[in-house]
Amino acid sequence: MSTLAELQLRLGYQFRDENLLRLALTHPSVAHEQNTPTPHNQRLEFLGDAVLGLVLTRELYENFSEADEGALTKSRAKLVNASSLAEHGRALNLGAHLVISRGEENTGGRERASTLADAFESVLGAIFLDGGFDAAREFILREFSAKFGELGELPGIENPKGELQELLQSKSPTAPEYLLVAASGADHDRDFECAVLHVGVELARGQGKSKKAAESAAALAALKKLREETTG
């Protein structure tokens, strides 16, 4: 099995045009070393960065309907910072497949965080060109599924479950309960619906890409409803 075939298994995506994947793995240092206009991955990195931002922005927008622009921006930045992207590149073992100059090789370029982060975005850009937006989105959701389960705890987003509990327990010693109502979709792209109840009465429901996200959405909806009732 070729190394590119092994990599594609880890990516969960089979390229129709493997030349795109090769280009995504070609570091700019190769062109600098050869002093020739050798194609490298910087343009794919630019494209992958844009696709990644769009997909994650949409997920945040849909899962946190009560979060304002500032909170959404901070949370997206947390997901796509260089350290986070380097972790993804390292987990996929992209460094072992990079085409780099001798200088980069001798200075540990294959394990450099910035290089791995750039390679991850380049590979994403290549997937987008090869398979379209849906293929790129599927790859991103698979890669970030664990992080989506933690979105309700990211800096910049309020703790809706904690706020709801505090509000309700100021009037009653009973804590709110969360009930999973429905779950659907493929394993890598699940949709959950949860209801939040208080003393047996359903307050609201919410949807999300994880049970935790759905519970947070339900708590946000309940907070909004209770505050409207108070002010109304």
State yes or no: is 202 an active-site residue: no
Active site residue 49: yes
Q: Which of 104, 121, 138, 143 is catalytic?
A: 121
Q: CA 204 to CA 212: how far, in whole Å?
A: 15
Annotated catalytic residue within 45, 49, 59, 104? 49
* Among the listed residues 187, 196, 226, 215, the one whose alpha carbon sits nearest the alpha carbon of residue 64: 215
Q: How many Å apart are CA 47 and CA 43, to the nearest integer?
A: 6
208 to each of 130, 159, 168, 192, how far by Cα in Å?
Answer: 29, 15, 23, 5
- Indicate the helix (H) or strand (E) that contains 26: none
Which residue has 């991850």 as its token pair? 120
d(CA 64, CA 182): 18
Cβ atoms 141, 188 nearer than 8 A: yes
Residues forming a β-bridge with 207: 193
Chain centroid to Cα 19, Å, comes to: 26
Catalytic residues: 49, 121
